[in-house]
Amino acid sequence: MKTKSPADLAPVINESGIEIKPVYAAEDVEATGGHGRIGNPGEFPFTRGIHKHMYRKRPWTMRQYAGFASPEETNERFKYLIANGQTGLNVAFDLPTQVGLDSDDPMAHGEVGRVGMAVDTLKDFEIAFKGIDLDKITVSLTINGAATALIAMYFAMAENRGYDVARLRGTAQNDILKEFIGRGTWVFPVEPSIRLVGDTILYCAEHAPLYSPVSVCGYHIRESGANPVQEMAYAFCIARAYIDHVLARGMKIDDFASRLSFNFDIYGNLFEQVAKFRAGRRLWATILKNEYGAEDPKSMWLRMIAGGGGAGLTIQQPENNIVRGAYYALISALSGTQTMALCCYDEAYTIPSEKAARTSLRTMQILIEEMGLCDTVDPLAGSYYVETLTNQMEEKIRTLIDEVDAQGGIVQAVKEGRIQDAVSRQAFEHRKKLERGEIRKVGVNCYEVEEEERSVECHPFNAEICTKQIKRLESVRAKRNNDTATCAVRRVLDDARAERNVMPGMIDAVKAYATVGELTNCLVEAFGRYEEPIRF
């Protein structure tokens, strides 16, 4: 669509490369695809929302990311958040756990309990979720490299507590392809990593059909430097890669697609973000229906958590981050997300303090209670600007997906490091523009405060946690039946080597108190380790 800015106005081009007109009208919507594409909420193609009544029926789930130190401290923080209105848990694990190392591994030095909760065995899960009703408060596990072990641990813990896993809800992030692009908690090479994701999808389709084993993340790709179009396109390519893998193993699309979920980023231009999500919903539904032949509408839903994004927040004038968080929450609500999690104002300093986490919850609660965000569905629908932008974003996302496919698909692109290179190149260009002042950031290159006095009450790190955790690990190893544990781990290795689904063996192994490290090591024995492609 050709646009022309009047001579006295500088052109405005959004991050996705779309030129923004000073004034929009009905004909702009018509010129980019028409009003007929808007549709109704709860009906294909779901532009306006995956459900008919959305927040009018029930507000979004509030799921702040939380976890640190040992399971005891994390359990306390969970309860604090729930008491302050949090409606779902989103578990942060420490880095050793995330990459499948036990707390006493030499590479774990300095990291035990630092960025999340330390988990070595089932014992830790038993403590972490004590006193929490897993049906009332669903749990999302932010785990990727070590996902099979931790999902197994969750099911084992739930079963031991008397829950019927066949009716258990919850989510695991378990999106390994994005880890290779940004985030970095991979362990095994690309193909076996996809295989393990497939194992969890197949296992859950049969044994835990209400559980969401995968949350495909555009979030981290955006955080790493991707623009909104790339965020959606790469995420959709990744989701399709998992779908294709699972279909090749004999599943039917409607057997599992409704349990896929997504995780997207929110920072940047308000309207571009809202359009991104509406376009994404419509495009995903179309892909599932037309390309995969899905018949169940649930398979076509873009179920998502949206929030963040850390990259938008600043170390300067941290109080400004409370405001940014509020704007991002507003965007999230206007975009029809199912779940919301905000980065806290101390994001650039440390993991959230109690106060910062509480402020994020209040941010969301104010939207719900005071500002009418739940009264009606997709309130921006029909806006000339938003509908035009939605049409344009959809076209751009589709075009990029086709480009990735034409160049050999996302899996090959990730193996060769091409996506990583494209995204990091963009992060560099963005940084240079920021330093030149071409991109303006409040407090960073405009409205700065000389000699700023930053008083951020930082969440303290407790170095003694490591000793405590190692003692517990040693105690569990000493008390468990070592023969049972060793046999169980051996079975996981055999299953992995024979390309059988590892999940049943994982569940038995974690019940025998096999450790995260033992289970990860046996998968390394079967699959090897990822070697990062370095290209500049």
Partner 1 sequence: MVMDRKIRVLVAKVGLDGHDVGAKVVVRSLMEAGFDVTYTGLRQSPEEIARRARELDVDVIGLSILSGSHMPLCETFKTLRKEYGLENVLWIVGGVVPDEDQAPLKALGVDAAFPVDTPLESIAEFIRENVS
Distance CA 256, CA 155 (A): 18
Question: CB under 8 Å to 160, separation ≥6 — which residues?
Answer: 126, 511
Number of residues that bind partner 1 (CB under 8 A): 40
Chosen residue from 98, 142, 148, 200 binding partner 1 by CB under 8 A? 98
Chosen residue from 431, 433, 471, 479 binding partner 1 by CB under 8 A? 431
Q: Give residues 401-430 in contact with partner 1 (rule: CB under 8 A).
A: 424-425, 427-428
- Residue pair 97/116 in contact (Cβ under 8 Å)? The answer is yes
CB of 466 to partner 1, least distance (A): 10
Distance CA 430, CA 438 (A): 9
Q: Give residues 213-252 in contact with partner 1 (rule: CB under 8 A).
A: 223-225
319 binds partner 1 (CB under 8 A): no
Distance CA 81, CA 85 (A): 6
Please identify, using beta-carbon distances, which residue of 226 and 233 lies nearer to partner 1. 226
Distance CA 377, CA 337 (A): 11
Distance CA 74, CA 68 (A): 6
Chosen residue from 18, 66, 91, 108 binding partner 1 by CB under 8 A? 108
324 binds partner 1 (CB under 8 A): no
Q: Peptide bond before 307: cis, by omega within 30 degrees of 0?
A: no
Please identify, using beta-carbon distances, which residue of 315 and 368 lies nearer to partner 1. 315
Please identify, using beta-carbon distances, which residue of 473 and 512 lies nearer to partner 1. 473
142 binds partner 1 (CB under 8 A): no
CB of 315 to partner 1, least distance (A): 5
- Residue pair 166/207 in contact (Cβ under 8 Å)? The answer is yes
Chosen residue from 185, 258, 273, 339 binding partner 1 by CB under 8 A? 185
- Residue pair 411/190 in contact (Cβ under 8 Å)? The answer is yes
* Lookup result for tokens 């923080």: 77
Question: CB under 8 Å to 45, separation ≥6 — which residues?
Answer: 37, 39, 281, 282, 285, 286, 289, 300
Distance CA 477, CA 232 (A): 44
Q: If you write DSSP's letter for every residue of 104-160 in order, what string do you get?
A: TSGGGTTTTTTSSB---SHHHHHHHTTT--TTTSEEEE--STTHHHHHHHHHHHHHH
315 binds partner 1 (CB under 8 A): yes
CB of 184 to partner 1, least distance (A): 2
317 binds partner 1 (CB under 8 A): no
CB of 461 to partner 1, least distance (A): 7
Among the listed ranges 211-219, 243-251, 331-339, 431-439, the one in contact with partner 1 (CB under 8 A) is 431-439
**Residue 79 Ramachandran class (φ > 0 left, ψ -120 to 50 alpha, else beta):** alpha
516 binds partner 1 (CB under 8 A): no
CB of 280 to partner 1, least distance (A): 23
Chosen residue from 170, 182, 307, 336 binding partner 1 by CB under 8 A? 182
444 binds partner 1 (CB under 8 A): yes
DSSP single-letter state for residue 291: I
Q: How many CB atoms lie within 10 A of CB 135?
A: 12
Please identify, using beta-carbon distances, which residue of 82 and 356 lies nearer to partner 1. 356
111 binds partner 1 (CB under 8 A): yes
Chosen residue from 461, 468, 484, 504 binding partner 1 by CB under 8 A? 461
350 binds partner 1 (CB under 8 A): yes
Question: CB under 8 Å to 27, separation ≥6 — which residues?
Answer: none
320 binds partner 1 (CB under 8 A): no
Please identify, using beta-carbon distances, which residue of 146 and 374 lies nearer to partner 1. 146
- Residue pair 503/148 in contact (Cβ under 8 Å)? The answer is yes
Residues that bind partner 1 (CB under 8 A): 95-96, 98-99, 101, 106-111, 114-115, 179, 182-185, 223-225, 314-316, 348-350, 424-425, 427-428, 431-432, 435, 444, 458, 461, 532, 534, 536
